[in-house]
Amino acid sequence: MQRYRLPPESRMICLGDNSGVAIYSGYSSNTTFLINKNPQSSSSNFPDISQGITKLDLINCLSLTEDSADNLIQRLISEKVFWTE
């Protein structure tokens, strides 16, 4: 599965109450917030981001459908929050 990397000095956390994900971009210094619309059915366990992020990670953490995950990933790539390998 395709893995997406974050620019150096970036941070990404899946918040402990499953409310969503916060990403600090080492590229732009902006913080992006991604809301989880179904916090009851998702997991706050998140992989080590140094290994990259997969679509499945986002689906699990944000309760996304595959299509919404694809759209989100495209947006994050266009905003240079994610880099493709």
Q: Which residues bind another protein (CB under 8 A)?
A: 9-11, 13, 15-17, 19-22, 24, 26, 29, 31, 33, 35-36, 39
Q: Which is nearer to another protein, 36 or 73 (CB)?
A: 36
Burial of 2 (0-12, 13-18, 19+ CB in 10 A): exposed
Q: Are 32 and 79 in contact (CB under 8 A)?
A: yes
User: What is the closest distance, in whole angstroms, from the C-beta atom of residue 1 to another protein in the complex?
Assistant: 26
Q: Which is nearer to another protein, 2 or 14 (CB)?
A: 14
Strands 83-84 vs 53-54: parallel, antiparallel or unpaired: unpaired
Q: Which is nearer to another protein, 18 or 73 (CB)?
A: 18
Token look-up 């493709």 returns 84
